[in-house]
Amino acid sequence: MPQLRLALNQIDSHVGDIAANADSVVHWTRHSAEQGAHLVAFPEMMLTGYPVEDLALRASFVEASRTALRTLAERLAAEGLDELPVVVGYLDRTEKAAPRLGRPAGSPENAAAVLHRGEVVLRFAKHHLPNYGVFDEFRYFVPGDTQPVIRVRGVDVALAICEDLWQEGGRVPATRSAGAGLLISVNASPYERNKDDQRLELVRGRAQEAGCTLAYLAMIGGQDELVFDGDSIVVDAGGEVIARAPQFSEGCVLVDLELPAARADAPEGVVDDGLRIDRVILSEEPVAPYDPVVPGGYADRLDDDEEIYDALVVGLRAYVRKNGFRSVLIGLSGGIDSALVAAVACDAIGAQNVYGVAMPSKYSSEHSKGDAADLAQRTGLHFRTVPIEPMFDAYMGALGLTGLAEENLQSRLRGTLLMALSNQEGHIVLAPGNKSELAVGYSTLYGDSVGAYGPIKDVYKTDVFRLARYRNRAAAERGETPPIPENSIVKPPSAELRPGQVDTDSLPDYPVLDAVLDLYVDRDQGLEAIVAAGFDPELVARTLRMVDAAEYKRRQYPPGTKISAKGFGKDRRLPITNGWREQA
């Protein structure tokens, strides 16, 4: 059987920075060539980054992508890489109208191309367009109507883009009909907790359906709220894993494959879902037989807590670096949320770039002040203390506030102080709110909700505790100082805005609250179904009222790393003005 050394470049890209992305393609193609690769692939929309959102509607950006693709092909040839076929994702436009979809010629396409000998030898657009969760691809793109196949060293290789695997029909059965020996899918599929197991089973099943070896190449890195975890996978026609790449790790995945020779009577014409086979022959002569040196391998898997924590680190790091920021500022209360955010920030960009400020009031406990200072000493971040009591007294003298208004004033003074320091010193503020608080509105607008990014906004409070314990345990196992003070983990959570206050004065116990929120927010269950699951009717009704009433607050919260299938923002979009209430 013919042999083929495949190079899957599991790398990051930067939305809009086409020149830097092209440089990455050249760099990793050269690296792949040095490793003896016969075929090289890059992720979905590698040249433009993903997702480009409304940049897809800007004709100048589309043309920049198309021009960069042609220039890239010429550059690869000029650098002596012209004989190595390269599959790369980019943004294109259709040359013909799509009357059935009401889209004119020139409409954008989520596309990929094959570059060879200085030319763009094959172009194709994504066939299945996702339109759920964070995806709005029907808003932007026209679907492709071909089944692309390239013949490389005597092997027919079918090509697909991300959702072409996730939906039934289309390019997977068309690959079998085309008689391909290998199917390569280039992807930019965002991370979600537990998605790695789902992804593996998907790839196994699709390989069996396609009747050939399947290589699933995934992007890594971060873009705004999205994180990409890599986890590229190669399986044989029976669904057995040949190679599996690490999560959250950039690099080139090399694998030596033995594949069926291309058929002399390879099918042509229209196959499944009306897809027309578009076959380009690049090289007929098989590679001279060689001893495989990269037969594959299975990277160690991360446990659930490590996976989520790494996602938070990668998401924050990408947001800071890609937006040109240098440092972050965090209000340190001594509590668990700000402590976890500080630990994530130190791991993401280095403690030397993390600035913490304690802002005690007359209600702040001595242990909270001490825990904030202890965290700073453990992590090595910059630390200062700025009491807010003089400011608070000045406001109270002028306004005479009481009750909740008095409590919220403290939070808003802290928010103003953080933003003032941000403005003066150039740090971006990180908001420490978690998903439980955001869900029920347990935060103060223009107070603890201020900031440029919310690293744990998609992490429930019970998970915050678990991740804090994981991070300390991981440090201890490495012989390092655990970053989070034990007292921040074990003491009852409190905003400390009035004497003796604890969170459970206003909220159910977090394990119960989070279980209800998981059903209502993440699974879209109604009141009756949640009560039927065994929860107290009054508690459920009260929780749901809080969630519904807080939609206007959530709209004003900063972006933050998405780790669940239903994060607040693009995933869960409800009207602010909403008269619907769940009934038992």
Write out the catalytic residue numbers: 44, 126, 162
Q: What is the DSSP letter of 433?
A: -
Kind plus residue range of the DSSP H or E element containing 229: strand 226-229
Q: Which residue has the tokens 């003896």?
A: 36
Nearest in space to 193 (alpha carbons), one of 458, 564, 571? 564
Provide the 3-class DSSP secondary structure of residue 501.
coil
Decide if 310 contacts 302 (C-beta within 8 A): yes
Tokens of 503: 């969170």
Show the tokens assigned to 158: 């079918």
Report residue 557: phi and psi, to 5°. Answer: -85, 150
Helix (H, G, I), strand (E, B) or coil at 544: helix
Distance CA 286, CA 4 (A): 8
Which residue is it, tokens 């010193």? 425
258 bridge partner residues: 3
Q: Long-range contacts for 63-72 (Cβ within 8 Å, ≥24 apart)?
A: 64/18, 65/18, 65/90, 65/91, 65/92, 66/90, 66/91, 66/92, 66/93, 68/18, 68/19, 68/22, 69/113, 69/115, 69/120, 70/120, 71/22, 72/22, 72/25, 72/26, 72/47, 72/115
DSSP 106-126: T-EEEEEEEEETTEEEEEEE-
Question: In 3D, which of 418, 436, 135, 192 has the Cα closest to residue 315?
Answer: 192
In which region does residue 426 sit, left (phi positive, over 0), alpha (psi from -120 to 50) or beta (all else)?
A: left
- Cis status, amide bond into 51, omega within 30 of 0: yes
Name the residue among 74, 70, 65 with its Cα closest to residue 16.
65
